[in-house]
Each structure stands twice: as structure tokens, then as C-alpha cells.
Copies of this chain bind each other. A is one copy, B any other.
Amino acid sequence: MAVRLEILERSRLTRARRGRVHTPHGSFETPAFMPVGTKASLKGLVPPLVRATGSEIVLSNTYHLMLRPGAELVARRGGLHRFMGWPGPILTDSGGYQVYSLADIGSMSEDGVRFKSVVDGSTIEMTPEVAMDVQQKLGADIVMAFDDCPPSVDPKRSSAARDRMLAARAGAFGEAYDHERRLDASMERTARWLERCKRAHAGREDEQALFGIVQGGTDLERRTRSAEQVTNVELPGYAIGGVAVGEGFEEIVSVVGHTAPLLPEEKPRYLMGVGYEKDILAAVLSGVDMFDCVLPTRNGRSANAFTREGQIRLKNARFAEDDGPIEAGCDCLACDPGGHGWETVEGRPFSRAYLRHLFLAEEMLGPILVSLHNVRHFQRLMVDIRAAMREDGWLDLAGRWPVCEPALAAFPGLAERSG
């Protein structure tokens, strides 16, 4: 097996556990946060800066890479690790989510999905076999099954921009769209496609770990059925997909709290594309080990900095003359450059005033420094979550991370019993 979870410690009061996942390119501590390097680069961050955030594993997107530069080209370069200069573990998604939410889909059938490349207009056939082949060529340590992703909410009933977009795509699948039938059909298809993924992956289990993905939307019965179907296929890890795609915190807690325990105890559990700090903590308390999210880098690029009290918008005029760091006490490269051995002027941080200037002046250094801070923010949260495991210090953790308080409140009675 390419990937193995070593469980080092368990929470007594919750399903949370602390561990280490071993991969062909080294190990990473869990619960783990994976920053996203969509196109084989964490936007603006050279690999040593990514490392300096405490990140041990990064995620890259199959959909984007297969379009450009192409999986074959990456394979001829020796794979993604060598191509992007990241020696540690890498996870690639299957491209499923992006194909369904970004691509110009031409047709969809039991075999797979046909869509038009945004790069050169060519028609691309995406099937479970193609997704596995592409991910083999990219060479990540963990690869994801190609699943059928239905619109997360009934597009006919939503007025949100994203849902209207999905509705437009759903229209391509036939006029008589029935959301409930689509969800059931999608789940069954995902199960059949998982078998095809596993067959396509056969013989390479020691090089790459294939994870299956549980779908089922916000309906807990569907989640149960999907979890049964997916875990019936013997794999080194399992993921929960289709979460945090528009639903609220309570529904996320409900779905993850229900689904995570249905996944094998001894294998890594990965909650895809999630999320805010409270979502992550709630999922950890339900037994999830791995997370990825674009929030720290995406929001960082638009001057939104995460703090323990919530996000602050650095373009705001109130920061114009603020000499303080993004967040007092933060140990990131922007807030405490001296702590990383960087030369400073009198030990000073990159100030909110300077960062605001960089954003107003449209200087790249703004997105870079705030992305560094934001990724470190999430890695600090994971450090604190892992440290809270031993003594079940969840109350203490929520006290130090006000943004996490709702997660504790979502587990009745936990606050009273935890430290």
C-alpha cells in the first residue's frame, strides 16, 4: 500500500484522532491541512515559502493540469513532484468536480463526460479510466476516484449565481431535469465508476493510493448508502465529497458527523474542499484526518486575512496607518519575519499599513504576504488541534480560536467535559 495511517493518539471524548500518514514522498501529520496549488504552483509562493507555512502535503488539480501543460508532458518531466519542485507528498483530485462545475460539457453518459477544452477548444473525453491514467502520469502520492458530481442543490430552486450556472450546465443533460432522480442516479454511477477506477489502478497500489469518494448531498440516508457502496471497495483511504458547496454550517456538521464514522477507522478520512476553521474543527471532532481548501490563498489574493477572531479586509481605510502585524502573536513570515531568520528593520513585521499599500498599488507582494499568513493561519489551527487531542482541550482551543466556537457548540455536552 502506498499510503498508511499511523494513529498516534485518540481523543477520549470525541471521534478525533491524531496520526501520521506515510506516503512514497514522506509523511505528514494529521489532522492535516493541504493548501491548493491548482496549476502546479501555490500562487506566488516558491516551495520553501510553502514549507515555511508548516505545510507538509499540497494538492494539485488534475482538471487544470490535463488541459495545460498536459499530463503526458508532466510525465515526461518525471512527474509533478519534480516538475514543480515539491519533494513532499502531493494529492491530486480526479478532475470530476471541476469538469462538472467549470467545463463546457458536451455530453454525459455511463461511460463518462465529454467536454470542450478552454485552452484549445478540443473535445476531451473524461472517464474513470482516463482520470486514473492522467493521475498516474501526474504521479501524486494520493489520487482520487472519478465521481459523478450532481448539482449540490436543485438548480431550479436556487437564485444564487453559482446555482444558476449549474442549472445552465444541468440543462445540457436534458430538459426534464429531476433533481432527486439525478442525485440517486449519480450515486449509483459513482459506485460503478469507483469499480472501474480501481480496476484501472490495479498493479500500482504501491506507488499511488487511490481514495474513494462518498457523495449523497445533504440527505443522510443517501450518505449512508453511498458510504456502504464506496467502502465495499477495498481502498487505502476514503473521502467525503459534495460538502461545503453552498449549504450552511449546521448541514455540514450534520453530514460530516453522520458520514465520517461510516468510514473505516484505521484508514485516512479526507473531507474535500473544506473549509472554514469551524468546519474543520467540527469535522476533526467527527473523525476526519485530511482537509484541503483554496480559502487561504484565494482570500489572501483579495486582501482578506484570516485571524482567530475572523477575517479582516486589509484594503480597509482603517488599516492605512496601522503599524501592527496582520495578527499579533502570529508566527507567520509576514507577522514575524525575524522569527524565521529573516533580516528585519528593528524586528518589525510587514505592517497592515504596508500590506494595504501593496494591495492598493496592485503589487504582487500583497497577495504573496497575505497568502503566506493565511496558509500559516490554517496550519497553526491544525497544530493547535493536534495538541488539543491529548487532554481533550477543546474548550481551551475554542477559547483561543473564537472563530472555532460554533464547532464546539455543535457537539452538545462536549464543552462541559473538555478542557
Contact = CB atoms under 8 A, between A and B. Distances in A.
Nearest to A342: B48
A164 interface: no
A315 to B, nearest CB: 12
Interface in A113-170: none
Interface string A280-323: 00000000000000000000000000000000000000001101
Contacts of A342: 46-48
A252 interface: no
The count of identical subunits is 2
A22 interface: no
Interface stretch (A79-87, A204-212, A404-412): A79-87
Contact of A345 (B48, B86, B365, B368): B86
Contacts of A243: none
A146 to B, nearest CB: 23
A344 interface: yes
Nearest to A349: B85
Interface string A382-408: 000000000000000000000000000
Given A46-B369, A77-B351, A85 B345 contact: yes
Given A39-B363, A41-B365, A343 B77 contact: no
Given A82-B348, A85-B348, A320-B73, A48 B365 contact: no
Interface stretch (A213-221, A231-239, A352-360): A352-360
Contacts of A51: 343
Interface residues of A, number: 52
Contacts of A110: none
Interface in A28-74: 39-49, 51, 64, 68-69, 73
Given A41-B365, A87-B345, A77 B47 contact: no
A181 interface: no
A241 to B, nearest CB: 25
22 contacts: A40-B354, A40-B357, A43-B363, A43-B364, A44-B44, A44-B365, A44-B368, A45-B365, A46-B342, A46-B368, A46-B369, A47-B342, A48-B342, A73-B321, A77-B351, A78-B323, A78-B345, A83-B354, A83-B357, A85-B348, A85-B350, A85-B354
